[in-house]
């Protein structure tokens, strides 16, 4: 029987944002950031997943289209799965007319249509298998009025269903390819909180289409197999489609100079092209004594991330809050375009680096939290990161608010995951250690079940995250009482949104890099960048408080040392040894934990040959660990350091900046 081919898009050429159907020479309009790439046969059309789609009129359909069945055919390669159903061919007015042939949020092919039997209910089938990413597939959807609907993948049936009633076509509608006809909500919202913070958006195809055809007849399995083989079949599937493997940005200088610098980190072309920023968009801190990084990247909304030697990304979160007037969480995760999130380098020398990150606490609709009726100001946060060459930083967090004592969060232990990586790929099941100032250590395991409480050892104030890396994130906070009733820091396990059949840990992909208006989308697949959380510190003692602000401190970084060494670092910071001056022209201002430094001020300008003499009285309870001395009013650039009579070598034994 002669094939009744209605449309055939080969994508061999484009002109003035249009491409022609090879059967009728109808012109289809192309929108957004699309491009022609190498396909199964000649060229193919690559959709960027954010802006691009094709739309064509349906005037070439016969009036009787579908009365004897119809067949839809295409070659497809996916870069990621869509946030909801996305069409390969969409010619429908849900649920009354037409058909829908596309891919769902887990990579399964969907084929549904409308019938006269029930204008309020679609009928159809979803494929039994999912498509892998970055692989070519030949997909076919067949509707036969007698047999129903079937889906074929690479010549093999992958699902079928009977259909009751006569198919109802939609000749007045255009055909759409690569974009859902109407906005839709992303699937898998977090259900237990913030039901309003999950809004509809345009759903676009992230992938490549080639050799797309529509037939006004049902085609049998033999013909489908012949079509698959006719294109080269299994041999063609060996062709790698031009879709890059995606991973969070990689910085090449593994161990180099201790420095901070502006740059523009790349993710993948289609995502990168969305950003209206120049070459100084991001900030990287590089270390010269370990292969780790601290990165402030627009893809995380500048939320600072420590990056291990094997490129696992970790962050201690940010200020976050919730109000009855906002849609869900108010946090920098919601600032998808970095409208209110900014980072800058303040100090950058061989001895230390100071980075300032400022962000607003906003919901996904860009509404500020707790707006003051008089001033119009909402909640804002300043973070200053004072970073030293030993890979340890002070994180100084200041929340500015008209209601600073209302519920706010300051810390959550979050792992940021590249596409292709699940939480279990990156975290050991013995995932977390808590340590107190006595040196007691408690291991917490996720192997059997999620821990209910993180309440041991008593008075814990040190946390170590057991990633599958040599260098592991740590946190040290004050062990001082929070209040009369709260005598020590409070840690809590993050045990919500866990699907034990998928991962031992919670798993979401509404952040990073995603531009969807959602503050919570659970995921089962590693097709996109994603994140997981282990714990959060509910509260710990503040460093400073005013009527409109609260400042908290933490010491953080990455370590490859034994957990007990963290105790020495904690003691040196929280209980620093006494410094005793020996010179009258010096004023000792004390130890400032927000600088991790002793502060000495000169009451007269230091002359070239003047000496600064002091002793640090360390002991077991107050040890020395890479001490920092800040000399105020010191003009000399040629200082040298002598300890117990030994002249130390600059840049090797000590840093000056």
Tokens of 460: 């814990």
Average pLDDT, the chain: 93
Q: How far apart are CA 38 and CA 67, in angstroms?
A: 36
Place of tokens 């994140």: 531
CATH 3.40.50.150 applies to domain 5-237? no
Contact 554, 539 (CB under 8 A): no
Q: How far apart are CA 240 and CA 134, in angstroms?
A: 7
* Segment (H or E) for 270: helix 269-272
DSSP state of 266: -
pLDDT for res 607? 52
The mean per-residue pLDDT over the stretch 20-29 comes to 89
How many C-beta atoms lie closer than 10 Å to residue 475's C-beta? 23
Q: Which tens digit of pLDDT belongs to each residue from 219-231?
A: 998 888 888 888 7
Bridge-based pairing of strands 597-602 and 629-632 is parallel
CATH number of 259-567: 2.70.98
Q: How far apart are CA 312 and CA 295, in angstroms?
A: 12
Burial of 415 (0-12, 13-18, 19+ CB in 10 A): buried
Cα 427–chain centre separation? 16
Tokens of 206: 């992230």
Beta strand extents in 202-318 (DSSP E only): 206-215, 259-263, 282-286, 293-296, 305-307, 313-315
Over 90: is that where the pLDDT of 438 sits? yes
Contact 480, 487 (CB under 8 A): no
Opening angle at CA 428, ends 425 and 434, nearest 5: 140
Contact 173, 97 (CB under 8 A): yes
Q: How far apart are CA 102 and CA 204, in angstroms?
A: 11
Q: Which tens digit of pLDDT belongs to each residue from 551-565?
A: 999 999 999 998 889
Cα dihedral value 145, 146, 152, 155, nearest 10: -120
Question: 125 in helix, strand or coil?
Answer: strand
In this prediction, what percent of the chain has a pLDDT beyond 70?
Answer: 97
DSSP string computed for 353-372: EEEEEEEE-B-TT-PBSS--
Beta strand extents in 57-145 (DSSP E only): 70-78, 86-93, 97-103, 108-113, 123-130, 137-144
Tokens of 110: 């969907």
DSSP state of 334: G
Highest mean pLDDT among 56-70, 184-198, 393-407: 393-407
What residue spans define the domains of the chain? 5-237, 259-567, 575-647
Tokens of 628: 């920092």
pTM, entire model: 0.95
Cα atoms in the Cβ-side hemisphere of radius 13 Å centred on 266? 8
pLDDT for res 608? 45
Tokens of 644: 């117990």
Comparing CA positions, the residue from 156, 337, 196, 343 lying closest to residue 260 is 343
Q: Which tens digit of pLDDT belongs to each residue from 287-338?
A: 999 999 999 999 999 999 999 999 999 999 999 999 999 999 999 999 999 9
* 632 band by pLDDT with thresholds 50, 70 and 90: confident
| Beta bridge pairs of residue 78 | 133, 207
Beta strand extents in 453-596 (DSSP E only): 462-467, 472-476, 490-493, 530-539, 544-546, 549-559, 578-581, 586-592
Q: Which tens digit of pLDDT belongs to each residue from 241-268?
A: 999 999 999 987 656 799 999 999 999 9
Q: How far apart are CA 111 and CA 298, in angstroms?
A: 38
């Amino acid at each position: 029987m002669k094939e009744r081919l209605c449309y055939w898009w080969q994508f061999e050429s484009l002109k003035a944002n249009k491409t022609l159907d090879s059967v009728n020479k109808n012109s289809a309009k192309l929108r957004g950031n699309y491009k022609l790439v190498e396909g199964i046969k000649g060229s193919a059309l690559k959709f960027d997943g954010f802006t691009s789609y094709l739309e064509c009129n349906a005037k070439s359909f016969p009036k009787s289209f579908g009365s004897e069945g119809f067949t839809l055919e295409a070659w497809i390669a996916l870069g990621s799965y869509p946030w909801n159903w996305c069409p390969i061919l969409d010619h429908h007015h849900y649920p009354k007319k037409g058909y829908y042939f596309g891919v769902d949020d887990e990579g399964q092919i969907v084929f549904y249509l409308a019938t006269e039997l029930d204008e309020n209910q679609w009928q159809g089938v979803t494929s039994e298998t999912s498509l892998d990413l970055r692989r070519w597939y030949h997909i076919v959807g067949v509707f036969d009025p007698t047999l129903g609907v079937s889906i074929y993948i690479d010549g093999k049936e992958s699902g079928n269903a009977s259909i009751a009633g006569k198919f109802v076509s939609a000749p007045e509608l255009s055909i759409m390819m690569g974009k859902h006809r109407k906005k839709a909500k992303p699937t898998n919202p977090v259900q237990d909180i913030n039901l309003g913070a999950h809004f509809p958006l345009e759903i676009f195809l992230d992938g490549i289409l080639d050799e797309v055809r529509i037939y006004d007849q049902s085609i049998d399995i033999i013909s489908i197999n012949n079509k698959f083989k006719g294109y080269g079949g299994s041999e063609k599937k060996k062709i790698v489609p031009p879709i890059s493997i995606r991973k969070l940005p990689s910085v090449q200088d593994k161990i180099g100079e201790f420095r901070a610098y502006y740059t523009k980190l790349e993710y993948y072309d289609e995502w990168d092209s969305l950003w209206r920023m120049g070459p100084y968009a991001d900030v990287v801190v590089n270390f010269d004594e370990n292969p780790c990084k601290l990165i402030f990247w627009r893809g995380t909304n500048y939320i600072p991330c420590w990056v291990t030697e094997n490129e696992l990304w970790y962050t201690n979160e940010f200020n976050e809050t919730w109000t009855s007037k906002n849609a869900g969480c108010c946090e920098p995760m919601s600032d998808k375009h970095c409208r209110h999130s900014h980072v800058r380098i303040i100090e950058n020398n061989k001895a230390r680096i100071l980075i300032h990150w400022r962000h607003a606490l906003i919901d996904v609709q860009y509404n500020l939290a707790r707006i003051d009726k008089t001033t119009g100001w909402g909640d804002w946060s300043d973070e200053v990161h004072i970073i030293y060459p030993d890979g340890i930083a002070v994180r100084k967090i200041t929340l500015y608010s008209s209601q600073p004592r209302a519920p706010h969060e300051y810390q959550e232990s979050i792992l940021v995951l590249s596409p292709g990586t699940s939480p279990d790929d990156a975290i050991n099941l013995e995932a977390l250690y808590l340590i107190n100032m006595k040196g007691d250590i408690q291991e917490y395991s996720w192997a059997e079940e999620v821990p209910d409480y993180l309440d041991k050892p008593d008075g814990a104030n040190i946390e170590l995250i057991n990633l599958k890396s040599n260098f592991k994130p740590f946190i040290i906070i004050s062990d001082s009482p929070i209040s009369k009733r709260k005598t020590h820091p409070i840690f809590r396990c993050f045990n919500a949104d866990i699907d034990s059949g998928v991962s031992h840990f919670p798993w979401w992909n509404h952040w990073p890099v995603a531009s969807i208006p959602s503050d919570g989308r659970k995921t089962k697949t590693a097709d996109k960048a994603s994140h997981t959380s282990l714990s959060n510190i509910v509260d710990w003692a503040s460093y400073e408080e005013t009527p409109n602000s609260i400042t908290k401190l933490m010491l953080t970084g990455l370590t490859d040392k034994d957990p007990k060494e963290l105790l020495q670092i904690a003691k040196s910071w929280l209980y620093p040894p006494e410094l005793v001056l020996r010179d009258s022209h010096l004023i000792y201002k004390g130890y400032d934990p927000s600088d991790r430094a002793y502060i000495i001020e000169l009451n007269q300008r230091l002359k070239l040959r003047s000496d600064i003499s002091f002793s640090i009285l360390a002991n077991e309870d107050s040890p020395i660990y890479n001490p920092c001395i800040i000399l105020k009013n010191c003009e000399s650039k040629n200082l040298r350091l002598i300890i117990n009579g030994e002249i130390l070598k600059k840049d090797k034994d000590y840093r000056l900046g």
